Chain A
Amino acid sequence: MDALAISGLVKQYRKGPEALKGVDLTVGKGEFFGLLGPNGAGKSTMIHCITGLAVPTAGEIKVFGKDAVKQYQQARQAVGLSPQEVMSLDWFLTVEETLDYHGGYYGMPRQRRERRIKELLKAFSLEDKRKASVRALSGGMRRRLVIARALMHKPKLLILDEPTAGVDVELRLELWHYMKRVNRAGTTILLTTHYIEEAEQLASRIALINQGQIVEQGTVRELKRKFKKKTLEDVYLSVVGREELGRNGAKAGVASKPGTAGAFK
């Protein structure tokens, strides 16, 4: 059974654009799957539809065989979401309460929550911040807490929406190690990122999304071969229609000619 099976997913916002235009995507159990695309491509909308934060207009989403709309409780039980926005933590709560209440929403009994909180605080180096208010945490600590919270109920599918955006190199590498470890332990991961090297380093398979559609998917090698490019970055630029920004384009001097249609289209 696939961890995630999306077919014909359409999302039309009220008074807004059609953010997803019939997306089909499958993520296998245990996979580390990367979703790459520019801003506004539909990555977050897709994640919102999977987790129930957005209501799909059409199509079907199945999480470990459970329909994300009709069987939303079972489907959401299997998913852990680390949102892009760390400010979305509840500022009235402490670090411990944030994890504890999250576990409660997933029906975890008290003793299991207590054990899990201990494990996660240790794993994310937040032990001495246990009683600290979320307001008092630094940006890096909030990022750690958001990921720890997503892992609180031991989800089978972990969704990481740009988890390393705005963090320093040290924390980014630390988080990479942790994500790899979680994946090796059997958790399926769906990662969205702007960092090409992050997707290349972590994901076993990658899908490229642009303007609400999955343009291509496969392993890094498959994608390079298909697009006849040397790097994943060039594949990405080709997909988003900005090849002039690539290494070859820069060498040819295209990007260094401001004012030309090629440089700033």
Chain B
Amino acid sequence: MSAWQTRFGLGFRREFTRYWSIKRQTILTPLLETYLYISVFGAALGSRVGELEGVPYITFILPGLVMMAFALNAFENNASSLFQQRFMRAIEDQLASPLHNLELLGAYTLGGFVRGAIIAGVTLFTAGFLVGLPVADPLLLLWSFASIGLFFALFGVLVGVFAEAFDNISLYRSFVLQPLIFIGGVFYSAELLPEPWQTVAHFNPVFYMINSVRHGFLGYSDVNPYLSLGVVTGGVLVLFAVVYWIFRKGYKLRF
């Protein structure tokens, strides 16, 4: 193992150890939350709704719920972890070390990404087993999940750098992310929306994320799935450039 691999690997392991040591809060609680959404909206409400776009309602919403679990957990992990490390000044051990800015950013990003992936993966495995979720386009699906996970992990890092207090993080989650995810079409197709909301939905980046995942599973999308993938991948690149620049400058990290 080369020196950079050791540095990056241990940086990631520290992050993994952190949330694994409090897994009841960081893994089990979000899993329970996702299962509650599935039971309430899928099983209870779904029996009344019947089918949407030719598939049972629960099957229609499941891709969006899995994406939501991935996104929110990747975000929340990195935002709270980085803020905590800054607040406790424990991050100074990493900042004073030879860790390259890219290795440090990569370790945090991967940490949140993996936590999101664990929760999304367990949800997908169990719900998919119970409901029987098809996979229409596996490659596009993998790319979509990877991009979405990275996007929200990086967004979490960004918020973790800027946050001045713990409630800033829950503020972002409750007032920015969750509304964007909910109106992005997790529980419905955007085609059902009246104008001008149908047009407005196209300005929400989460709309494209949900559609690329939904296309990957069901082969159905409100927009061209490759446009969705382009928007999400572009978002990741822009966000990465911004966060890396902040790490290089040391803004809010170094005095």
A residues at B contact (CB < 8 Å): 13, 45, 48, 51-55, 72-74, 76-77, 79, 81, 83, 85, 87-93, 97, 100-109, 149
Contacts and interface: CB of A to CB of B under 8 A. Distances in A.
B10 interface: yes
Contacts of B3: 107
Nearest to B19: A92
B250 A55 contact: yes
15 contacts: A45-B255, A54-B254, A74-B98, A83-B89, A87-B89, A88-B92, A89-B90, A90-B85, A90-B88, A90-B90, A100-B10, A105-B94, A105-B97, A105-B99, A106-B7
A106 to B, nearest CB: 6
B97 A76 contact: yes
B14 A76 contact: no
A100 to B, nearest CB: 8
Contact of B9 (A79, A85, A92, A104): A104
B99 to A, nearest CB: 5
Contact of A77 (B11, B98, B249, B255): B98
A109 B255 contact: no
B39 interface: no
A205 B254 CA distance: 30
Most buried by A among B13, B17, B94, B98: B98
B250 to A, nearest CB: 5
Contacts, number: 93
B93 A55 contact: no
A48 B255 contact: yes
Contact of B93 (A45, A54, A74, A149): A149
A55 B246 CA distance: 13
B255 A91 contact: no
Given A92-B18, A105-B10, 7 more contacts: A87-B88, A90-B93, A93-B14, A101-B11, A101-B13, A102-B97, A106-B98
Contact of B4 (A81, A89, A90, A107): A107
Interface string B85-114: 100111011111111100000000000000
A103 B6 CA distance: 9
A104 B13 CA distance: 10
A88 B90 CA distance: 5
B171 interface: no
A248 to B, nearest CB: 39
Contacts of B97: 76, 102, 105-106
6 closest Cβ pairs, A-B complex: A104-B10, A107-B3, A105-B97, A54-B255, A88-B89, A90-B90
B7 A92 contact: no
A98 to B, nearest CB: 8
Given A76-B98, A92-B21, A104 B11 contact: yes
B1 interface: yes
A107 B100 CA distance: 11
Contacts of B255: 13, 45, 48, 53-55
A73 B98 contact: yes
Contacts of A48: 254-255
A5 B171 CA distance: 46
Given A53-B254, A55-B255, A73-B100, A105 B93 contact: yes
Interface string B1-44: 10110110111011001100110000000000000000000000
A97 B20 CA distance: 14
Given A54-B255, A101-B10, A107-B6, A72 B93 contact: no
A52 B253 CA distance: 11
Contacts of A93: 14, 17-18
Given A77-B98, A83-B92, A105 B254 contact: no
Given A45-B255, A77-B98, A106-B97, A53 B88 contact: no
Contact of B88 (A74, A77, A88): A88
